[in-house]
Each structure stands twice: as C-alpha cells, then as structure tokens.
Amino acid sequence: MTIICRNDLNSGYKCVQSAHALADFSVRFEHEFKQWQMGSNYLCCLEASEFKIEQILNKLDDLKIKYHVFCEPDIQNQMTAVAVEAISRIQHKKLFKNLKLTLS
C-alpha cells in the first residue's frame, strides 16, 4: 500500500494526514485493506506537490487502481493525503518513481 501526502505540509501534518488517509481507506475498501494486511503488509510513504498528486490520481483512474483521498476539514477541506491500494512492484516503480520518501 502507498500513502502520498502533500510536500508543503509540516512533518507533523504529514504523519497525521497519512494516518487519516490509511484509516479511511481501510473502511472504504475493507476487502483490499485486509488482503494487504494479511499479505505483504508493505507500506510506502511518499510526498509530492498537489499538482503531481492530481496527475497521479488521473493515472490511477485510468488504470482502475483503488485509492482514497483524504481532505482535511481544519484547512477548508483541502486534499492532504491519498492512500493507494497495494499494487505490483512494477506498477509501483512506474507510477511513483519520481516521488520522494516522506520525511527523508
């Protein structure tokens, strides 16, 4: 599973918003979440600009990959993080190769 948060957030917000996205994904896509949890349980946390995240969401839609966008009520419901279902390593490298690890 992959979490992508906005790179313009402070470190604390990145952590909390990523957790929100993951929690909401687990409720919305319970079956996929349980498959991930029982399988690899690999979690990759990345960050990107809001523009880049929007581009990735379009690619995910095209590929029919499930994801959940978390929007934070405390900052006018802005998109802050996205949780993406577990995908193959090949897809992961292709989609996220230019993104930075969160807090690195």
| Cβ–Cβ < 8 Å for 51, 98 | no
| Cβ–Cβ < 8 Å for 72, 8 | no
pLDDT of the residue at 8: 96
Distance of CA 103 to the CA centre of its chain: 15
pLDDT digits (tens, 9 = 90+) for 4-31: 999 999 999 999 999 999 999 999 999 9
Question: Which domains are seen in the chain, by residue range?
Answer: 2-101 (3.40.1490.10)
| Cβ–Cβ < 8 Å for 36, 25 | no
For residues 81 and 79, give the distance between their C-alpha atoms in angstroms, rounded to a whole number: 6
Q: Give backbone dihedrals phi and psi of 15, rounded to 5 degrees, phi first.
A: -65, -50
Q: What is the pTM of this model?
A: 0.94
